[in-house]
Amino acid sequence: MNARNLFISLITMLVMAGCTKGPSPNLCPTVCDGLVAYYPFYGDATDKSGNGHDLSVLGPTLSKDRNGYQNHSYLFDGRTTHLRFAKPLPNLGSKPISVVIWFKVGSFTNPEWIFSDQERSFSLSVYQDSGSKKYILNFEIRKNMKTWDRSYLHHEIELNIPYQFTGVVDEENKRMALYINGELIEKKYWSERIQFGSNLVIGGDHFGIGKKNFQGTIDEVRIYNRALPADEVKEVYLFTSAFPPVE
């Protein structure tokens, strides 16, 4: 076993060791400052940030991740399966936010929600363009459900290809930014506070469970209470993409 594989094996064992009763220890391997919740989905949906924000598993099943490791991701059926946060996350209501998600879209039937909250203040979805028939990833933020004051960034994706999404909302510097696989795709002006953190759902939408749920796999989710700069977005991608495929 070479040094890199040994290091990755040790990290995996540490994460697995966190699957115990009570809050899991902080097992973040890299870019940990401001990490509010961390879900590597190694055998369960417990929060490995040490903050105790474990998820309720409502239907999705453990599956192979992007590298072929069994029980390292959750498979969503596109109907009612989703993961739900039991309580609002603290310290996020009016702060900068960064969310990192490894995902792969499976067969597609209609617009699907990958991540959202009660106000849809920070959401990630995928839809098929009616004209070009291309599949479009939609990162959207809004003040709340009562207003159309919102902004969004798009990126074309393909089915059955894993992607790492990073979305950053930085009201202090008046911007939102979309990164794919560690690379900046687009940024846009945004200056409003968003009401993020209530009734968060992974694999669906708070108001549309059973209507537009995600169909595919999600390998990892990280949530930060700060705006990740480009170099740290890249660092997270490089680390999480370094795991060798199953031989």
- Asked if residue 247 belongs to a domain, the reply is no
Work out the end-to-end distance of the chain between its first and last CA atoms, rounded to an integer number of angstroms: 13
Q: State the residue range of the domain holding 218.
A: 3-240
Bridge-based pairing state of the strands 175-180 and 201-202: unpaired
Give me the CATH number covering residue 39. 2.60.120.200
User: For the chain, percent helix, then strand, then coil, each to nearest 5?
Assistant: 10, 35, 55
- Asked if residue 245 belongs to a domain, the reply is no
How many distinct structural domains can be found in the chain?
Answer: 1
pLDDT, position 60: 94
Strand order in the sheet with 201-202: 55-58, 82-85, 201-202, 112-116, 122-128, 135-142, 150-157
- Asked if residue 43 belongs to a domain, the reply is yes
- Asked if residue 129 belongs to a domain, the reply is yes
> What's the token pair of residue 70?
């069994």
Q: pTM for the whole thing?
A: 0.86
- Asked if residue 100 belongs to a domain, the reply is yes
- Asked if residue 56 belongs to a domain, the reply is yes
- Asked if residue 14 belongs to a domain, the reply is yes
pLDDT, position 151: 86
Cβ distance 144 to 121 under 8 Å? yes
Give the residue among 30, 26, 49, 23 at the shortest CA–CA distance from 38: 49
- Asked if residue 201 belongs to a domain, the reply is yes
What letter would DSSP give residue 59?
A: S
pLDDT, position 195: 73
247 residues of the chain, pLDDT tens digit each: 444 444 445 444 444 444 333 445 566 878 999 999 999 999 999 999 999 999 999 999 999 999 999 999 999 988 888 899 877 777 566 678 999 999 999 877 678 889 988 667 788 999 998 888 899 999 998 876 666 667 889 999 999 999 999 999 987 888 999 999 999 999 999 877 777 767 788 998 766 655 678 999 999 999 999 999 999 999 999 988 877 787 7
> What's the token pair of residue 139?
């990162």
